[in-house]
Amino acid sequence: MNTGTFNPPEIDYLAIAPILIIFGTAVLSVLVEAFVGRTARRPVQLVLVIGSLLVALYFVISQAGTRTITANGALVIDGPALVLWGALLVLSLLGAMLMAERTLDPSGDVFAARAAALPGSEDERQFTQRGWVQTEVWPLFLFSVSGMLMFVAANDLLLMFVALEVMSLPLYLLAGMARRRRLLSQESALKYFLLGAFSSAFFLYGASLLYGFSGTVSLPGIAEAISAKPSQGPLLILGMALLVVGLLFKVGAVPFHQWTPDVYQGAPSAVTGFMAATVKIAAFGALLRVMYVAFGGIRWDWEPMLWVIAILTMFVGSIVALVQTDIKRMLAYSSIAQSGFIMLGVIAASAEGLSASLFYLIAYGFGTIGAFAVISMVRQSGGEATSLSAWAGLGRTSPVIGAVFAVFMLSLAGIPLTSGFVAKFGVFAAAIESGDTWLVIAAVVASIIAAFFYVRVIVLMYFSAPAKEPAVVAVPSAFTTIALAAGVTVTVVLGIIPQPLLELVANADVFLR
């Protein structure tokens, strides 16, 4: 007996085409694993990955003006979503370039020849010698990207949760597949997985409490419920707190940050670069959407909490980075500190705050992926030279790479004429306009502390005698070269002529509700 009539949801397939393309290609890519011969797999996968990213990017650009909510309110395609999609796709493209690199390591790929082979075993040696490659990384990579695209466009908490998992699960796997120092890599992957699952549980708990509060999981629905119920109960507060914890984990905010250094260090540098840039963008995209759309009406409630988190994040990240001796760990703490700065844009809770955050995320993404590209090129006999001491004097032995890395460091430190300066200025100005002057003063102090460790690397590269076992810069193939060139170009161009991007993000400064 059917009393209700079923109305199929109307889905604007063109608007969500980027998600569908990446998603579909990911499935196709799994089939390629199954049916294409071993030697042909890698080229086929690369064509699929790069092709699908470019086609998806085309669809994003071609519908720049689209503002729509589709699939019964599950997905929203608005200004911020499109900007974030564009950024995610371009950075994923660069990340794919890094992951496709195979001339830097004398033995081949950046990933282990076979992730299942025990580290140090005869099997591992044989697989490596035979030049086998784990091409399954490509479908995993595409699934992760599709999850990110959904994550920033999700308009209800259920889809947001699924997208969060679709984004994260492949990353847990990719993090554990480093070619060298495999035990470290596997350990970091397991840590990432366990803690990620832990944080997902908080997110889910929060979402269910919010459902209990409002009777819906849709973000605008929650906002309506908030404005409809004058005596907003503890259910809302608890739900919001737990939900935010899940998101803060992904952006690496203190005290949910501790996975960051371990995972950044253990994962292959190509994956770290990809992950550091894109996950940060996706997670902040979602955080901004949740805070602005769902909880915009009670910003006075959550702002003090985020002040505390932002200040902790900026200072812990900057201070602990000072004593790091491993460059990847240092950049991990740097990414934590940067999260704190971006949070100023979230706290601003204004159109300026949103567009400044978007600009910051893009500037940060390119700088970070470029920095990890450099790290993947600086090598010693045992693989990448991640110990800072090996970088001493690098600026003198390899002036171009030294200078490029210095540009990334200066940008992350927020020195003028780099993208990082414009980005910092934007979020600081937005926060001041929203009346958070003290927070900005704290952020300025934190950025001074942060400047020390960035400049310390430059000092090390230029002012120190080369180490006993100096690192050498391996000559990369076109893949890494493209990623690196794109990173440094964007960093410098956005510092000198940021106007086009500023206009772009200024046109994307409202979330569609």
Partner 1 sequence: MTELMPAEGVFSLIWLLIALPLAGAIVLLFGGRRTNSWGPYLGVLTVSASAVLGVLMLLGLLDRPAEERTVEQTLFTWVFVGDFQADMAFQLDQLSMVFVLLITIVGALIHVYSLGYMAHDPDRRKFFGYLNLFVAAMLLLVLANNYLLVYVGWEGVGLASFLLIGFWQAKPSAAAAAKKAFIINRVGDVGLSLAIMLMFVTFGSVSFDDVFRSTSEASEGTLTAIGLLLLLAAAGKSAQFPLQAWLLDAMEGPTPVSALIHAATMVTAGVYLIVRSNAIYNAAVWAATAVVIVGLITIFMGAIIGSAKDDIKKSLAGSTMSQIGYMIFAAGLGPIGYVFAIFHLLTHGVFKAGLFLGAGSVMHGMNDNVNMRRYGALKGLMVITFITFMAGYLAIIGIPPFSGFWSKDEIIHAAFERNAFIGIATILAAGITGFYMTRMIAMTFFGKPRWEEGVHPHESPAVMTIPLIILALGSTFMGMALLFWGNIESWLEPVTGFASEPTPLPTMFYIGVTLVVVIIGAVIGWITYGVKPVPIDPPHGSWLTRAARKDLYGDAVNDVLVVQPSLATARYLSWFDDKGIDGFVNGIARWVGLLANTLRRTQSGLVRSYALSMVGGVFVVVLALLLVRMN
Partner 2 sequence: MNEVIEPNLGETLVFWICGGLAVVGALGMVISRKAVHSALWIALTMINLAILYVANSAPFLGMVQVVVYTGAVMMLFLFVLMVVGVDSSDSLIETIKGQRVAALLLGVGLTIMLVAGLGAGLSGAGTIGLDAANAADGGNVQGLARLMFSDYIIAFQATGALLITAAVGAMVLTHREYWQPRKSQRELSQDRFTDGGHPGNKPSPGVYARHNAVDTPALLPDGSTSAISIPAPLRARDDARAIDVNDITNVRRLTEGESE
- Which of partner 2, partner 1, none is residue 4 near (CB under 5 to 8 Å by kind)? partner 2
* Cα(28)–Cα(100) distance, integer angstroms: 19
Question: Least distance from C-beta 370 to partner 2, angstroms?
Answer: 28
Of partner 2, partner 1, none, which one sits near residue 6, judging by CB under 5 to 8 A according to partner kind? partner 2
Q: CA–CA separation, 63 vs 332, rounded Å?
A: 35
200 binds, among partner 2, partner 1, none (CB under 5 to 8 A by kind): none
Minimum Å gap between C-beta 169 and partner 2 is 5
Task: Give every CB contact of residue 360 below 8 A, 6+ residues apart in sequence.
Answer: 341, 342, 345, 423, 424, 426, 427
13 binds, among partner 2, partner 1, none (CB under 5 to 8 A by kind): none
DSSP 290: I
- Tokens 């063109």 belong to 14
- Strand 378-380's sheet: what is its strand order? 383-384, 378-380, 472-473
The answer to whether residue 312 forms part of the interface with partner 2 (CB under 8 A) is: no
Q: Does residue 279 interact with partner 2 by CB under 8 A?
A: no
**Minimum distance, C-beta of residue 501 to partner 1, in the bound complex (Å):** 11
Q: Site for partner 2 (CB under 8 A): which residue of 49, 159, 277, 385?
A: 159
Which helix H or strand E contains 68, and what residues bound it? Answer: strand 68-70
Query: Residue 64 or residue 323: which is nearer to partner 1 going by CB?
Result: 323
The answer to whether residue 305 forms part of the interface with partner 2 (CB under 8 A) is no
* Helices assigned H by DSSP within 257-298: 259-266, 269-289
Task: Kindly state the DSSP code that residue 6 receives in the 8-state scheme.
Answer: P
- Give the torsion through C-alpha atoms of 189, 190, 196, 202, to 10 deg: -170
Nearest-angstrom CA–CA distance, 78 and 465: 52
The DSSP code for 298 is G
**Position 23 contacts partner 2 (CB under 8 A):** yes
Give the footprint of partner 2 on residues 211-230 (CB under 8 A): 212-213
**C-beta closer to partner 2: residue 241 or 485:** 241
Q: Determine if 39 is a binding residue for partner 2 (CB under 8 A).
A: no
Peptide bond into 255 cis (omega under 30): yes
Stretch 173-192 residues interacting with partner 2 (CB under 8 A): 173, 176-177
| Six token digits for residue 411 | 């940008």
| Number of H-type helices and E-type strands within the chain | 20, 5
Question: C-beta of 377: minimal distance to partner 1 in Å?
Answer: 17
Among the listed residues 14, 184, 238, 305, the single contact to partner 2 using CB under 8 A: 238
Which of the listed partners (partner 2, partner 1, none) does 72 bind, with a CB threshold of 5 to 8 Å by partner kind? partner 2
Q: How far apart are CA 171 and CA 167, in angstroms?
A: 7
500 touches partner 2 by CB under 8 A: no
Collapse the DSSP code of 301 into the 3-class scheme (helix H, G, I; strand E, B; otherwise coil) and give the result.
helix
**Closest distance of CB 159 from partner 1, Å:** 24
Is 108 a binder of partner 2 (CB under 8 A)? Answer: no
Residues that bind partner 2 (CB under 8 A): 1-4, 6-9, 11, 23, 26-27, 30, 33, 71-75, 114-117, 123, 126-127, 130, 132, 134, 136, 139-140, 143, 146-147, 150, 156, 158-159, 162-163, 165-166, 169-170, 172-173, 176-177, 209, 212-213, 233-238
